[in-house]
Structure 1
Amino acid sequence: MRLALRNYRNDARISQPEVAERLSWSPSKVIRIEGGSVGVSVTDLRALLDLYGVVDERIRRDLEQATRESRRPPWWSAFREVVSPQFAAYLGLESAAGELSAYDPALVPGLLQTEGYTRALLADGQRPAARTDAIVRLRAERQRRLLREAAEPRLRFLVDEAALRRWVGGPDTMREQLERLKSAARIPHVELSVVPFTLGAHPVLRNGSIALTFRGGDDVLFVEGPSGALTIRDDQEAVDEYLARFEESRGKAVSGDEAIGFIDEVLAQYPS
């Protein structure tokens, strides 16, 4: 459904903000509908199809039937006990983005973590085992959807050398994690760059975040910190500043085959 609506909108050459303006909706409503985070009512579906010039009765009938059958909770509803309201808002936008740009100054970005690495990070005795299991399963589902299922959003990761060398879970866990990074770097819609120590205090060093950018604007910045997570919306200046720093650091980092070679050098230093 969401892909069909996105394609019809693109065919009609109408941006997401234009849809919102012409239907008197908020821009985020259009993004959430195309991202699959909220269902679309039959009334709203008809308004969208009218706007996009979709007149084929069979297509309209099939989409209306699909809409009636799809009024179910979002995919992450099974993980509500570990999904904060801020993170739920982020998840609703993640799959609808055109591009995702992520950096963490100390750890492997969550979308690239192995189960062993994630469990080692969570092994602090501060949460029940069931909660840890739910977090691990949630992360695995996000990875399945973004790394394996879709060619969009395009995923861009900056991985700091500190993350490659920090022993999270011990050498076996780290060898598995580094091999995962190499595999991810070969996925067509993934761009992985390594930020070596030699870059020193590079521009994005203190700005571990995820930026989601959309063809129609209304970009989003997701920031995780000690006190929780914050989804920054309606502040394009903040997103642009982060992306500018991200691009500057990426331009100085190592990418492609060079990044894989860099990871291999680090791998060789982990004892068997």
Structure 2
Amino acid sequence: MANYRVLPTVRRRRLGDTLRRFRHESKMSLETAAEAMGWDPAKVSKIENAKGRIRPSDVGPLLEKYGVTDEVVVTALTRLAEDAQKTGWWQTYGDVAAHAYRDYISVEADAKSVRICTPAILPGLFQTGEYAREIITATALTRTPEEISALVEIRKARQAVLTRPHEPLKFWAVIGEAALRQRFASRPNLMRSQLLHVLDMTELPNVTVQVIPSTTAPNPAMVGVFTLFEFPVPWPTVVNTENLRGGQFAEDPGEVQIFEEAFERVTVAALSVDDSRETITRIMERPEK
């Protein structure tokens, strides 16, 4: 597979957007900010548009010009400037992972918590290798067998965020009952091991799982998969929606709020955590014929 450096544009965009916001709040123009730092205005513009880099050591002084002195914010942005120059592990897969997917993995790696509503499929962070291969084969319509194997590797590698030693990702998944009852004719025992793995994941203190029963009233989960990513200060929550061609992010606060409310309604429609575990166990032990 291809192995080359791809610019981590998501982190740069988040850094640039935040610096632009602080500049606007300070009422400073590009020219004024550049003059204060001894830079050309084009440099400030490129940093804000994720087309240029800013040295981590310059982040604090620039924020000071904008009147931002909160140590938590300065530290967070400085670290992001450092991380924006690094190559994520997923970049080694080259074009196997599409740009949108690389963006998703980068955002997932940086998030402090993720809430996902997935009515018809198990979340990628819960998928065993066997289950992932079946799902990717069925949905990645133009992929070669070699690319499918690489995508399975990527999906498994992503799951490290749940058990990383420093601040493991807080993960709240609301899963449709239909996803639990999925069957693979050629691999009748696959789902038993997959559901057992889901139960194991629910034992993690940072993981919450709820099941939406098939008998529940209509609710926003009917629309499809969506994921809310929450980050440390000062970055706002973003939402990702998915379809057969991939996913796309929305950052507008009004749009994100709609999905925040939708997730809340879905959790109300779902079973409690304890009842969800019992449901998963029952389906695993007594699969439908």
Matched, 1:220 2:221: no
Q: Tell me what 1:107 maps to.
A: 121
Count of equivalent residues = 237
Deviation digits for residues 187-230 of structure 1 (CA, Å, limit 9, x no counterpart): 11111101111113223221311111234343211122123321
- Residue 138 of structure 1 aligns to a residue whose secondary structure is helix
Identical amino acids, percent of aligned pairs:
24
Instruction: After TM superposition, list the pairs within 5 Å mapping 1:57-76 onto structure 2.
Output: 71-76=85-90
Pick which of 117-126 and 202-211 moved more.
117-126
Instruction: After TM superposition, list the pairs within 5 Å mapping 1:214-253 onto structure 2.
Output: 214=231, 215-233=233-251, 235-253=252-270
Give the Cα–Cα distance (whole angstroms) in 2 for the partners of residues 88 and 185 of structure 1: 27
Give the Cα–Cα distance (whole angstroms) in 2 for the partners of residues 119 and 220 of structure 1: 28
CA RMSD of aligned residues (A): 3.5
Give the Cα–Cα distance (whole angstroms) in 2 for the partners of residues 227 and 41 of structure 1: 36
Pick which of 16-25 and 105-114 moved more.
16-25
Deviation digits for residues 133-184 of structure 1 (CA, Å, limit 9, x no counterpart): 1111111111012344453431110011000011146331100110011011
Q: Tell me what 1:12 maps to.
A: none
**Aligned residue among 163, 171, 176 for 1:160:** 176
Give unmatched runs, 5+ long, in structure 1: 1-15, 33-37, 55-62
- Residue 170 of structure 1 aligns to a residue whose secondary structure is coil
Q: Tell me what 2:5 maps to.
A: none
Q: Taking structure 1 as reference, are residues 150 and 48 closer, same or farther at Cα in structure 2, changes over 3 Å only?
A: farther
- Residue 123 of structure 1 aligns to a residue whose secondary structure is helix
Give the Cα–Cα distance (whole angstroms) in 1 for the partners of residues 204 and 150 of structure 2: 26
Give me the TM-score of the superposition, normalised by structure 2: 0.69
Pick which of 125-134 and 137-146 moved more.
125-134
Q: Taking structure 1 as reference, are residues 97 and 113 closer, same or farther at Cα in structure 2, changes over 3 Å only?
A: same
**In the TM superposition, what is the alpha-carbon distance from 1:250 to its structure 2 partner?**
0.7
Give the Cα–Cα distance (whole angstroms) in 1 for the partners of residues 189 and 282 of structure 2: 16
Q: Tell me what 1:132 maps to.
A: 148
Amino acid at match of 2:202: A
Give the Cα–Cα distance (whole angstroms) in 1 for the partners of residues 71 and 20 of structure 2: 13
- Residue 102 of structure 1 aligns to a residue whose secondary structure is strand
Q: Tell me what 1:203 maps to.
A: 220
Matched, 1:192 2:206: no
Q: Taking structure 1 as reference, are residues 103 and 159 closer, same or farther at Cα in structure 2, changes over 3 Å only?
A: same
Do 1:102 and 1:208's aligned partners in 2 also have CA atoms closer than 8 Å? Answer: yes
Give unmatched runs, 5+ long, in structure 2: 1-16, 27-32, 34-43, 73-77
Amino acid at match of 2:89: W
Give the Cα–Cα distance (whole angstroms) in 2 for the partners of residues 53 and 263 of structure 1: 45
Amino acid at match of 1:162: A
Give me the TM-score of the superposition, normalised by structure 1: 0.73
- Residue 100 of structure 2 aligns to a residue whose secondary structure is helix
Q: Tell me what 2:94 maps to.
A: 80
